Amino acid sequence: MTTFPAPTQETQVCELDIEGMTCASCVRRVERSLAKVDGVQEARANLAMEQAQVRGTAPLPALLAAIERAGYHASPVEPEETASDPDDLVAGQARIARRKLRDIIIGVLFTAPVLVLATFFMDRFPRENLLMLLLALPVWAYVGRDFNVGALRALRHGTANMDTLIALGSSVAYLYSAWATFFRSSAVTYFDTAAAIVVLISVGKYLEARSRSGAGEAIRRLAGLSARSARVLYGGIEVEVPLSRVQIADILVVRPGEKIPTDGVVLEGTASVDESMITGESVPIVKDPGDEVIGATVDTDGLLKVRATRVGKDTALARIIRLVEQAQGSKVPAQRLADQISQYFVPAVLLIALGTYLGWVLSGHSGTNAMVAAVAVLVIACPCALGLATPTAIMVGTGRGAENGILIKGAESLERMRQITEIVLDKTGTITRGRPAVTEVLQLDGAGVARGSRELLQLVASVEQGSEHPLARSVVELARGEGITLVGDVRDFAVIAGGGVEARVGSKQVLIGNRRLLLNRGIELDGHDRQIAALEARGRTIMLVAVGGRLAGAIALADTAKEGSAQAIGELHNLGIGVTMLTGDNPRTAGTIADEVGIDRVVAEVRPEDKAAEIKRLQDGGKVVAMVGDGINDAPALAQADAGIAMGTGTDIAMEAADVTLVQGDLRALPLAIHLSRATVGIIRQNLFWAFFYNVVLIPLAVFGKISPIFAAAAMALSSVTVVSNSLRLRGTRQATLLAAGVFLLAVVLVGLGVILTLR
């Protein structure tokens, strides 16, 4: 007797590849089977990705055995596979698509003469039925083998799925016709129906597979970004090794035009790095020694030596891929009804088909006519559309988000984002840059105020170039950015307790500090109190500069709003969403930033531990609240909010607590995230409507004999393609929109024909 090892106590997420799932009822069966395993906390299967995600403490062998008992085959997905072997995924899907296309060609070659014989040459020459039997045999037995094998596998495990419906429908038509050929030569045969059912549904499956391949394009693009190899320095010699062999602390050499192999820190060199594939930022970022770099980004113009800090599944790219995959395996609440229905769908269709047959026979019709109606019922049912309605939309929606630097954790996050009525923004690092920047450089003298003195900026930056203080670094960065050459002859540099520094620059004695420091040194403000007070009233931090014992100027600094913050807040207002700023700063500074970017409401001087309480107060007032933050102190508020949104430039703790991460740290991605959530949930609801609509309208038509089995096969194939192509509209491309419009028009025509037939 086989025994499994005891479950570990550590909760983990296990991803499994599932073979054999064909419809929503398969998804439900896999989930229920996994849920029965001891230690499983949550199990989700995804028809579009043909995978399952299991959270809990259950051991892997127990999970694999549960799926085998349900009638499917499973294998574990290693986390590294997605990032390191994207070509294998693409090649595997391409092989499946080629096989399906080959089967369709074979099917068409044999089905076409069967249709011609049945339509135009019936009873024209002897042994016609035998010829059609031989022509239809490879279609039924070979082209339809996946359906037949899937049905037998389901039967062996005491279940039924979509394969059961298709195999039963085509097999009844073929086997009845074969029996009639040998034992009732005068009876009507349906070899054309059997062959056409298999071919039409195979065409639908092929188109569905192609569309689903497009839905998963984002994952493949992300996976394909990774470098395949790296140049590693060993004893001063460059050695090219596979990416999988790179280890933490290895020194990597990156030349212009090459991808940075893995996350790291620049040791030597300066280069502009294109990070658009990760952050969406189109402008290359200059990287100097000490700066962090992201794996898969491109060195555009300089030689870099980089120390690897994260490798394999721990890199930023791998984590992004993992987040997107987890999101694509999730479900919105609207899918729960479809899941519950799918559990009973196939058995219900089998009963309806049996009832149809009996009803026709008992009402005086021939057994042949009854059989045709029952076959139409079996074939018209489309559980595939129910199973694909949610995952395809989520795959495309989250994939498009990832391509735009928006990471959405799951379908429930999408649902919550759609309902937001109020967004609460942390100030520092979210609306603002999170570090001071020089806003004004003023030269002060007895004649008044002159702006932008390069000489004053040169003096201050020359003194401050040796300081690590954030204000000092901001002044030095501005001077260098404006091409000012710093003076090297700086002597007697000293930090003064109480807020300042002094040094001798050439022949000049320079003192830099706050108002109190200068007054303590006996340096008067010479009537410039009003100008300085006006800057302070606007939330500026002032560095006063004295040269030779007299006030020479002032430099004003502030944590300025990020580029695009005002635009983002304006777009949020256009979406009908209120905006609140939550900050620990004083009301004066907070009000200045709020006025600059157009914030509706400001809550200032909030302690970190009180942020979550403020979110709760808004929720108690009936608002659906999203919190946007970037710091450790924002994590409780992010968790309290209906939707937590983290800035990708912030801390890992904030990102873990959030539902959505804006990778680039740009608020302009926030309106896009909300629009994408609304569009994705809208598409899901449309898909579920169409999936139900096909069944509710067309199954009754089949019951009453208004739809032929061939027509039913075309409708069933089209139902899945309609759902998937509708999801592809989220990609926002013209081709996807045209495809969806064409399929939708075809669907309308098909349903319209069914209605016309009913009225006749």
Q: What is the pLDDT of residue 265?
A: 93
Tens-digit pLDDT profile for residues 511-534: 888 888 888 888 887 778 888 888
Whole-number Å distance between alpha carbons of 718 and 709: 14
Contact 666, 562 (CB under 8 A): yes
Q: Are 463 and 510 in contact (CB under 8 A)?
A: yes
715-728 pLDDT tens trace: 777 777 788 788 88
Dihedral sign computed on CA atoms, order 736, 571, 586, 534: positive
Q: What is the pLDDT of residues 613-633, one digit of tens each?
A: 888 888 888 898 988 877 666
d(C-alpha 202, C-alpha 41), whole Å = 37
Bridge partners (DSSP) of residue 616 are none
Task: Check whether 568 has a pLDDT greater than 60.
Answer: yes
pLDDT above 70 (res 471): yes
Helix (H) or strand (E) holding 17: strand 12-19
Backbone CA torsion sign across 243, 247, 253, 257: positive
Distance between CA atoms of 704 and 369, rounded to whole angstroms? Answer: 11
Residues 6 or more apart whose Cβ sits within 8 Å of residue 448: none
* d(C-alpha 531, C-alpha 537), whole Å: 10
Element (H, E) at 194: helix 191-215
- The whole-number pLDDT of residue 93 equals 61
In the beta sheet, which residues pair with residue 160?
A: none
Rounded distance, CA 662 to CA 352, Å? 50
473-522 pLDDT per residue, tens: 888 888 888 888 888 888 888 887 656 888 888 888 888 888 888 888 88
Whole-number pLDDT of residue 253 = 92
Q: Enter the tokens of residue 399.
A: 């994939």
| Residue 262: both structure tokens together | 């893995």
Can you give the pTM of this predicted structure? 0.66
> Beta strand pairing status for 298-299 and 271-274?
antiparallel
- Tell me the β-bridge partners of 51: 17, 46
Contact 543/501 with Cβ under 8 angstroms? no
Q: Is 426 a catalytic residue?
A: yes
Place of tokens 């060199």: 269
Among the listed residues 426, 630, 642, 659, the single catalytic one is 426
Q: CA-to-CA distance for 381 and 39, rounded, in angstroms?
A: 36
Q: How far apart are CA 413 and CA 344, in angstroms?
A: 29
Q: Angle 81-87-90 (CA atoms, 0-180°, nearest 5)?
A: 100
Q: Read off the pLDDT of each residue in 545-559 and give the average, rounded to a whole number.
A: 85
